[in-house]
């Protein structure tokens, strides 16, 4: 288990990357960090504001810079944004510098978990179910491409997923 000193969580919005990541970091005795939180702290602005002012491309530029840096940090469980896999540079950094876990959530589960969340810019323009379906169609293969491990999060509490991950990772 000591070999896992950089654990990176990828997956769609609503998969539980941040919540599960916090629990997993406790179990593994690592610190927890989140790329979106880091971007907000560095800019002094929240993600929806960055999307409004700089557009998705501006946000992705910031995200790429943060990912390049944070994937070099040791003793960390790092939660990433759902679109982090869109840029090849991010996929290379994640896959090459740590153990990548894909937290899979079905589109139905994503809709259920995000339905009251107004802080997700990509879900504010159209039918959330259709948007999440399109995002999953675009991104699922990219998550799988870099994943060292895949775990399903549907119908599971974040604590339960973290406990299962700890058990599964201890056998590696």
Model confidence pLDDT, tens digit, residues 67-123: 999 999 999 999 999 999 999 999 999 999 999 999 999 999 998 888 776 667 666
Under 8 Å CB-to-CB from 94, ≥6 apart: which residues? 8, 10, 67, 71, 80, 84, 85, 100, 146
Indicate the pTM of the whole model: 0.92
Domains of the chain and CATH, by start: 6-163 (3.40.50.300)
pLDDT score of 1? 38
pLDDT score of 168? 87
Average pLDDT, the chain: 92
Distances 147 to 85, 104, 115, 124 between C-alpha atoms, Å: 11, 11, 27, 29
| pLDDT tens-digit readout, 121-145 | 666 777 888 989 999 999 999 999 9
């Amino acid at each position: 288990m000591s070999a896992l000193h950089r654990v990176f969580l990828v997956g769609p919005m609503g998969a539980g990357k941040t919540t599960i990541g916090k629990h997993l970091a406790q179990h593994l005795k690592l610190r927890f960090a989140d790329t979106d939180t880091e971007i907000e702290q560095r800019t002094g602005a929240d993600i929806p504001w960055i999307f409004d002012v700089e557009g998705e491309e501006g946000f992705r530029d910031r995200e790429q810079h943060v990912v390049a840096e944070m994937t070099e940090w040791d003793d960390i469980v790092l939660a990433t944004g759902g679109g982090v896999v869109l840029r090849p540079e991010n996929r290379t950094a994640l896959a090459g510098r740590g153990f990548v876990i894909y937290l899979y959530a079905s589109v139905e589960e994503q809709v259920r978990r995000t339905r009251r969340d107004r802080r997700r810019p990509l879900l504010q323009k159209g039918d959330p179910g259709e948007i999440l379906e399109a995002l999953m169609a675009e991104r699922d293969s990219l998550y799988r491409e870099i994943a060292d491990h895949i775990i399903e999060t549907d119908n599971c509490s974040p604590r339960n997923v973290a406990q299962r991950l700890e058990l599964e990772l201890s056998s590696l």
